[in-house]
Amino acid sequence: MNLITTIFIITALLSAILATVSFWLPQMTPDHEKLSPYECGFDPLGTARLPFSLRFFLVAILFLLFDLEIALLLPLPWGDQLLSPLLTFLWATAVLALLTLGLIYEWLQGGLEWAE
């Protein structure tokens, strides 16, 4: 058995054990006091479920999407050591063009407008 298979089996077993323990352990000792909302020792004044702006959610998702795409460019400085640095440059240009087109599309669709 090679090293990768051993690591995969250990990871899968450890994940299964931790998931099982985290599922069964809270059911043994339920504590209703810990499940209630807590506001600095006072009774809660309002509901814990407040309305959430979908605009804020959309901007947060767009930020994560563009941030992950920009993270693809982080290893770019090591790309000039490849056999064909021109190919690396072309791929980086394609990723940047895709990012720019995505930004233009979101701008035209109004996804970046905070208030209407």
- Residue-wise pLDDT for 74-112, tens only, equals 888 777 777 787 888 888 899 889 989 998 998 898 887
- Give domain limits for the chain: 54-109
Confidence of residue 43 (pLDDT cuts 50, 70, 90): low
Question: Averaged over 17-45, what is the pLDDT?
Answer: 75
Q: How far apart are CA 105 and CA 55, in angstroms?
A: 16
Single pTM value for the model:
0.51
For 62, the 3-state DSSP assignment is helix
Do residues 65 and 98 make contact, with C-beta atoms less than 8 angstroms apart? no
Burial profile 79-106: b = 16 or more Cβ within 10 angstroms, e = fewer: eeeeeeeeebeeeeeeeeeebeeeeeeb
For 2, the 3-state DSSP assignment is: coil
